[in-house]
Amino acid sequence: MKHHTFNRTIGLTNAIILMMGNMIGIGIFVYPSLISSLLPHSIWFLLFWLFGGIIAMSGALSSAELASVYPELGGDYAYLRNSYGRRFAFLYGFFTFFITFPGSIALGLSLGVHYQGSIILGDWVNTVCYSLPTLGFELHYYQVIAIGLLLLLTTVNHFGIESSIRFQKLVTFLPVVFLVGVGLLTISSILYYLFLGTDSKLLLADNMNKPFSFPDLLPSGTALVAVYWTYAGWNSPLAMGEEIKNPEKVIPRTMIFGPLVVMLIYLLLAFIFVALLPFESIQTGKDPFFIVGQYFLKNLLQIHSPVAIEWIPRIMTYIIFFIILGNTNSTIITGSRIQVAMSRDRLFIEKLGHLHPKTNTPVLGIWMQSAWALCMILFVSKESNLLNFSFICIIALSILTIYSVFRVKKHHNKPHLIPYLSYPIAPIVYIFATSLILILILGNYFREGNYTIPFFAFLSAVVGFSLYEIWRRLNITTYSSDNDANVNGLEPRHPFDVSERVGKHR
């Protein structure tokens, strides 16, 4: 007998850890150079990280309003289905399964092993271990290692959410504790030099006192995209709505505290950059994060041991590698739950939604997602623009999702999470800010004459809608029209009762 519903085993702490694992990636180490190079002053650098956190918080608060009405499996997929019908929900599922989730897994592991592996293991990881010259195919050692890590993480998830969360705690807690610890120690040292000693070793005042000017509009859009991408993942716990204990309390609290903690960590790290390094060196990318650590030891803490200083790059490499593993693990969990929601609606292969009777996990779905990610590791270049064009579509769908808050609230009288803030201010802020980012993205592509990415974004959306029509016309779904399944998603339903929908689809 197959299990068709998940067990509610995820509490508040674990939900926040899963969200943080999905949000905190290598972006905070990679993107500061890109972001600062597009901004004329360090104040803008700090403000953009703050602005990105506000966007994430507004999106999370808005989604919490939706989750209070529809605490279902699938998160954004379920909200789109309930508000706009199965066609848009299918499009979201199409992107998450075929592009964004496996693409993030593949590129994250490939880039992680490619760059961090050379420091940990040596330069041999970037050499070719097998090639087929006639087909132009080359297999590098970093790809083999990335595949091995992918299989390891998939196996961890195979054995249940408990093993997944235990692993997530390990690879999330260590980097967070380290980064926060270094950050607080840095601030303490800065305060010491400011108030008890001399500030000659600090560059904060020099960076702040430089001539102030406003950034150009279109380049600032590119900077905002990088910040927005770094904060992405705040909606990941919503996909596990059926697995969260006491969802009426846990989901809203997760959506408040998770993004807030990540925003504070990012702002802390951004402040450390500006306080310890010349802003021009951040803009040129000459000073990666481990240089900040070396500067911190040598100048602020007066530690000049060559061994300690030489180990800073290696320590930061391990921290970044843990972050990559945590981000990948959380992505595997979230993506597989969206597949289950689609399968229940007969919008995907039904067997992918079956849960293992012992582990209560979608084993086939987890392995199929990883198999697709494995193909991307082998055949998609690590410099691919795959995620760039899918990002345009996903951000457009996220705007549509948050807009549905206004539609849903007309038909439901659930009390607001935070009156006036979570509704209507939060969805207004998210829709306005994210729409601005989308316009600036497209404007920058068109200004540069780069029509390829917008074209493929449009083409992929057409492909997604076309596949839905083919799927429906072949009568693979149990509904003949996308309006048959919960028209507009607005008919009343008892909050936090998913049995009706689960029973309907089973």
pLDDT digits (tens, 9 = 90+) for 168-217: 999 999 999 988 888 888 788 777 777 766 555 667 778 888 888 998 88
**Which pLDDT value is given to residue 290?**
63
Give the pLDDT score at 504.
39
Q: Nearest Cα to 386, choosing from 396, 376, 395, 401?
A: 376
Question: For 10, left (φ over 0), alpha (ψ -120 to 50), or beta?
Answer: beta
Q: Which residues does 311 contact at the CB level (< 8 Å), separation at least 6?
A: none
Provide the whole-model pTM: 0.87
What is the distance between the alpha carbons of residues 56 and 402, in angstroms, rounded to a whole number?
12
Burial bucket for residue 259 (CB in 10 Å: 0-12, 13-18, 19+): buried
* Angle value at C-alpha 345, between 344 and 346, nearest 5 degrees: 90
Indicate the pLDDT class of residue 388, thresholds 50, 70 and 90: confident
Element spanning 352, H or E? none
DSSP state of 416: P
Q: List, for residues 210-255, the tens digit of each pLDDT value.
A: 888 998 887 888 888 889 989 999 999 999 989 999 888 899 899 9
d(CA 446, CA 440): 10
Share of the chain above pLDDT 70, in %: 88
Q: What is the pLDDT of residue 366?
A: 95
Q: CB within 8 A of 99, min separation 6: which ones? A: 386, 387, 390, 460
Amino acid at 251: I
Closest CA to 157 of 14, 330, 10, 8: 330
Confidence tier at 111 by pLDDT (50, 70, 90): confident
Rounded distance, CA 91 to CA 29, Å? 32
Confidence band of 165 (pLDDT split at 50, 70, 90): very high
Do 361 and 161 meet the contact criterion of CB atoms below 8 Å apart?
yes
DSSP assignment letter at 418: S
Q: Residue with structure tokens 């000459």? A: 286
Range with the poorest average pLDDT among 19-28, 163-172, 307-316, 447-456: 307-316
Amino acid identity at 160: G
pLDDT, position 288: 62
For 159-198, give the secondary structure using H, E and C. CCHHHHHHHHHHHHHHHHHHHHHHHHHHHHHHHHHHHCCC
Contact 453, 392 (CB under 8 A): yes
Confidence at residue 482, expressed as pLDDT on a 0 to 100 scale: 44
| Residues whose CB is less than 8 angstroms from the CB of residue 410 and which lie 6 or more positions away in sequence, other chains included | 490
Assigned superfamily of 12-505: Amino acid/polyamine transporter I (1.20.1740.10)
- Residue 344, pLDDT > 70, answer yes
Contacts of residue 233, Cβ cutoff 8 Å, sequence gap at least 6:
19, 22, 23, 25, 327, 330
For tokens 């980012």, the residue is: 437
Q: Give the position of tokens 């993107």.
A: 31
Range list of H helices, 345-422: 363-379, 386-409
Residue spans per domain, the chain: 12-505
Distance CA 171, CA 331 (A): 14
CB-facing half-sphere around the CA of 92: CA atoms within 13 A: 27
**pLDDT of res. 196:** 66
Location of structure tokens 């496996």: 102
Query: Residue 491 pLDDT more than 60?
Result: no
Name the percent of the chain in helix, strand, coil, to the closest 5: 70, 5, 25
Which whole number is the average pLDDT over 358-372?
Answer: 94
Report which of 256, 213, 290 is spatially closest to residue 30, judged by C-alpha positions: 290
Q: What is the DSSP letter of 36?
A: H
Average pLDDT of the chain, as a whole number: 84
Pairing of strands 128-132, 419-420: unpaired
Per the rule left: phi > 0, alpha: psi between -120 and 50, beta: everything else, 166 is alpha
